[in-house]
A and B are shown apart, each in its own frame.
Chain A
Amino acid sequence: MTPIEQTLSPNVAGTDRELIAFRIGEQEFCVDIMSVREIRGWTPATPLPRSPAYMKGVINLRGVVLPIIDLGARFGLQTSAPTERHVIMVAHVGSRLVGLLVDAVSDIVQLSDAAIQPTPDVASEQVKSFVKGIFAVEGGRMISLIDLDHVLPESEAEAA
Chain B
Amino acid sequence: MSDDPFEAIKATFFQECEELLADLEGNLLTLESGSTDIEVINAVFRAVHSVKGGAGAFGLEDLVRFAHVFETLMDELRSGRKPCDDPTVKTLLRASDVLADHVAAARGAGAPVDPARSAGLVAELEALTYGGTAPVAAAEPEEDDFGFTPVAMDLGAFEAPAGLPDLPDLPPLPDLAALAPLSAPAPLPDLSASAAAGGWKIVFRPHPRLYASANETGLLLRELARLGPTRVELDDSGLPLLDALEPTDSHLIWTIELDGDASEAEVREVFDFVEMDCDLSITPLSGDGPAEAAPTAVEAESDASALARAASSELDIAALLASVGAAPTEAPAPVAATPVVAPVVDPVAPPPVAAKPAPAAPAPVQAAPAAAAPVTIRVDLERVDRLINAVGELVIQQAMLAQRVTESGLARSSDIGLGLEDLELLTREIQDSVMAIRAQPVKSVFQRMPRLVREAAEATGKKVKLVTSGEDTEVDKTVVERLSDPITHMLRNAIDHGLEGPEERLAAGKPAEGTVRLAALHRSGRIVIEISDDGKGINRPRVRGIAVERGLIAEDAVLSDDEIDNLIFLPGFSTATEVSDLSGRGVGMDVVRRSIQSLGGRISISSVLGKGSTFTLSLPLTLAVLDGMVVGAGEQTLVAPLAAIVESLTPSEADIHYVGGVDPVLRFREAFVPLVDVAQAMGFRDQPAALKGAVVMIVETESGQRAALLVDAIHGQRQVVIKSLETHYRHVEGVAAATILGDGRVALILDIDALVTAKRSRTPSRSDLQMAS
A residues with a Cβ closer than 8 A to B are 44-51, 57-60, 62-67, 96-98, 152-153, 155, 158-159
A145 vs B144: C-alpha distance when bound (angstroms): 78
Q: Quick one: given A60-B740, A96-B728, are A46 and B746 in contact (CB under 8 Å)?
A: yes
Q: B555 within 8 Å of A by Cβ?
A: no
Q: 13 interchain pairs (CB within 8 A)?
A: A48-B735, A49-B683, A49-B684, A58-B729, A58-B738, A60-B740, A60-B745, A60-B746, A63-B389, A63-B723, A67-B728, A96-B727, A96-B729
Q: B731 within 8 Å of A by Cβ?
A: yes
User: 3 nearest interchain CB pairs?
Assistant: A155-B730, A49-B682, A63-B393
CB–CB B745/A49 < 8 A: no
Q: B691 within 8 Å of A by Cβ?
A: no
CB–CB B730/A49 < 8 A: no
Q: Quick one: given A62-B393, A63-B389, A65-B740, are A49 and B728 in contact (CB under 8 Å)?
A: no
Q: Quick one: given A58-B738, A63-B392, A65-B746, are A47 and B636 in contact (CB under 8 Å)?
A: yes
Distance in Å from the Cβ of B235 to the closest Cβ of chain A?
A: 63
CB–CB A98/B732 < 8 A: no
CB–CB B732/A65 < 8 A: no
Given the complex, which residues of A lie within 8 Å of B681, measured CB to CB?
A: 49
Q: Quick one: given A47-B636, A50-B683, A63-B393, are A97 and B728 in contact (CB under 8 Å)?
A: yes
CB–CB B734/A50 < 8 A: yes
CB–CB A50/B389 < 8 A: no
A66 vs B740: C-alpha distance when bound (angstroms): 11
CB–CB A63/B396 < 8 A: yes
Given the complex, which residues of B lie within 8 Å of A62, measured CB to CB?
A: 393
CB–CB A46/B728 < 8 A: no
A128 vs B740: C-alpha distance when bound (angstroms): 37
Chain B residue, CB-CB nearest to A99:
B728
Given the complex, which residues of B lie within 8 Å of A153, measured CB to CB?
A: 730
Distance in Å from the Cβ of A53 to the closest Cβ of chain B?
A: 11
CB–CB B746/A59 < 8 A: yes
CB–CB B728/A48 < 8 A: no
Q: B189 within 8 Å of A by Cβ?
A: no
Chain B residue, CB-CB nearest to A98:
B728
CB–CB B684/A47 < 8 A: yes
Interface string of B498-525 (1 = CB under 8 A from A): 0000000000000000000000000000
Given the complex, which residues of A lie within 8 Å of B744, measured CB to CB?
A: 60
Distance in Å from the Cβ of A97 to the closest Cβ of chain B?
A: 5
B residues with a Cβ closer than 8 A to A are 389, 392-393, 396, 636, 681-684, 723-725, 727-735, 738, 740, 744-748
CB–CB B733/A58 < 8 A: no
A122 vs B403: C-alpha distance when bound (angstroms): 54
CB–CB A51/B723 < 8 A: no
A51 vs B747: C-alpha distance when bound (angstroms): 16
A6 vs B727: C-alpha distance when bound (angstroms): 36
Distance in Å from the Cβ of B205 to the closest Cβ of chain A?
A: 56
CB–CB B734/A67 < 8 A: no
A47 vs B393: C-alpha distance when bound (angstroms): 22
- What would 4 more interface pairs be, CB under 8 Å, given A47-B636, A49-B682, A49-B683? A46-B748, A59-B746, A98-B728, A155-B730
Chain B residue, CB-CB nearest to A93:
B728
Partner of B746, one of A51, A58, A97: A58
Given the complex, which residues of B lie within 8 Å of A66, measured CB to CB?
A: 728
A47 vs B683: C-alpha distance when bound (angstroms): 9
Q: Quick one: given A49-B735, A50-B733, are A65 and B728 in contact (CB under 8 Å)?
A: yes
A127 vs B747: C-alpha distance when bound (angstroms): 33
Chain A residue, CB-CB nearest to B730:
A155
A63 vs B746: C-alpha distance when bound (angstroms): 9
A47 vs B727: C-alpha distance when bound (angstroms): 17
Chain A residue, CB-CB nearest to B400:
A60
CB–CB A64/B636 < 8 A: no
Given the complex, which residues of A lie within 8 Å of B725, measured CB to CB?
A: 48, 58, 65, 67
Given the complex, which residues of A lie within 8 Å of B723, measured CB to CB?
A: 63-65
Given the complex, which residues of A lie within 8 Å of B682, measured CB to CB?
A: 49
A57 vs B746: C-alpha distance when bound (angstroms): 9
Chain B residue, CB-CB nearest to A44:
B745
Chain A residue, CB-CB nearest to B726:
A155
A48 vs B746: C-alpha distance when bound (angstroms): 11
Q: Quick one: given A47-B684, A50-B733, are A64 and B745 in contact (CB under 8 Å)?
A: no
Given the complex, which residues of A lie within 8 Å of B738, measured CB to CB?
A: 46, 58, 65
Chain B residue, CB-CB nearest to A153:
B730
CB–CB A65/B727 < 8 A: yes
- Residue picked from B723, B725, B730, B734, most chain A C-beta under 10 Å: B730
- Residue picked from A62, A63, A96, most chain B C-beta under 10 Å: A63
Given the complex, which residues of A lie within 8 Å of B724, measured CB to CB?
A: 65
A44 vs B682: C-alpha distance when bound (angstroms): 18
Chain A residue, CB-CB nearest to B734:
A49
A158 vs B730: C-alpha distance when bound (angstroms): 10
Given the complex, which residues of B lie within 8 Å of A152, measured CB to CB?
A: 729
A58 vs B726: C-alpha distance when bound (angstroms): 12
CB–CB A46/B735 < 8 A: no
Distance in Å from the Cβ of A91 to the closest Cβ of chain B?
A: 11
Distance in Å from the Cβ of B723 to the closest Cβ of chain A?
A: 5
- Residue picked from A44, A58, A97, A153, most chain B C-beta under 10 Å: A58
Q: Quick one: given A62-B393, A65-B723, are A50 and B732 in contact (CB under 8 Å)?
A: yes
Distance in Å from the Cβ of B508 to the closest Cβ of chain A?
A: 51
Distance in Å from the Cβ of B745 to the closest Cβ of chain A?
A: 6
Given the complex, which residues of B lie within 8 Å of A46, measured CB to CB?
A: 636, 738, 745-748
A97 vs B729: C-alpha distance when bound (angstroms): 8
A98 vs B730: C-alpha distance when bound (angstroms): 12
A62 vs B697: C-alpha distance when bound (angstroms): 32
Chain A residue, CB-CB nearest to B394:
A63
Given the complex, which residues of A lie within 8 Å of B683, measured CB to CB?
A: 47, 49-50
Given the complex, which residues of A lie within 8 Å of B728, measured CB to CB?
A: 64-67, 96-98
Chain B residue, CB-CB nearest to A46:
B746
A47 vs B634: C-alpha distance when bound (angstroms): 11
Given the complex, which residues of A lie within 8 Å of B732, measured CB to CB?
A: 48-51
A58 vs B734: C-alpha distance when bound (angstroms): 15
A97 vs B392: C-alpha distance when bound (angstroms): 19
Distance in Å from the Cβ of B531 to the closest Cβ of chain A?
A: 35
Q: Quick one: given A60-B740, A63-B740, are A48 and B393 in contact (CB under 8 Å)?
A: no
A96 vs B729: C-alpha distance when bound (angstroms): 7
A159 vs B389: C-alpha distance when bound (angstroms): 27
A85 vs B746: C-alpha distance when bound (angstroms): 21
Given the complex, which residues of B lie within 8 Å of A45, measured CB to CB?
A: 746
CB–CB A67/B746 < 8 A: no
Chain A residue, CB-CB nearest to B683:
A49
A145 vs B176: C-alpha distance when bound (angstroms): 81
Distance in Å from the Cβ of A141 to the closest Cβ of chain B?
A: 32
Distance in Å from the Cβ of B127 to the closest Cβ of chain A?
A: 57
CB–CB A48/B389 < 8 A: no
Given the complex, which residues of B lie within 8 Å of A57, measured CB to CB?
A: 746
CB–CB A159/B746 < 8 A: no
A48 vs B748: C-alpha distance when bound (angstroms): 8
Chain A residue, CB-CB nearest to B741:
A60
A152 vs B734: C-alpha distance when bound (angstroms): 20
Q: Quick one: given A58-B746, A62-B393, A65-B740, are A49 and B729 in contact (CB under 8 Å)?
A: no
